[in-house]
Structure 1
């Protein structure tokens, strides 16, 4: 699922510092586990993936904060759209999942 998106005007070879932070909120039953991929896209092209795995024994609503920084190099002079998507690649005993506290920030260095 796409969870955050923003745009920036860039010039070829600009460095673009991308910072993001989200909270994964999962309602779980006992003995849960899951693996989630946070995928960063520029103009529809995958540029970075972060994989996180979690497990526990208690049934509850679990909130997990995940943050990351990535430095991209602009391939062209344009307005680029950066998008963060979350994909669950494995899940056991997860009743529901959502993303809260979505933050995606760009700083362009010229």
Structure 2
């Protein structure tokens, strides 16, 4: 999917391409300015996720159109750790003068 297609555009594509409306991929590409390949990918992914194009009334859910989770390494820093670091910095007037090494050392001692 193109990175700049928002969920509303995807919903429009799925609606227009469904048999109820019956627009062709070329017509949708002309109206939206998206490549045909992107339109077909959006429609196919919606069907894979549970969209039923022949079911009346037509239902389109966000989970059928949302971005898939991105692969990658999970974050090491938790919300709790972020709050602890911010508390160390905001603690007093000297907190802002501490280096990263100072804060890391304090966190290691506190753990």
TM-score range, shorter chain: under 0.3
Largest Rg, 1 or 2 = 2
Q: Normalising by structure 1, report the TM-score.
A: 0.22
Higher strand share: 1
Q: Normalising by structure 2, report the TM-score.
A: 0.22
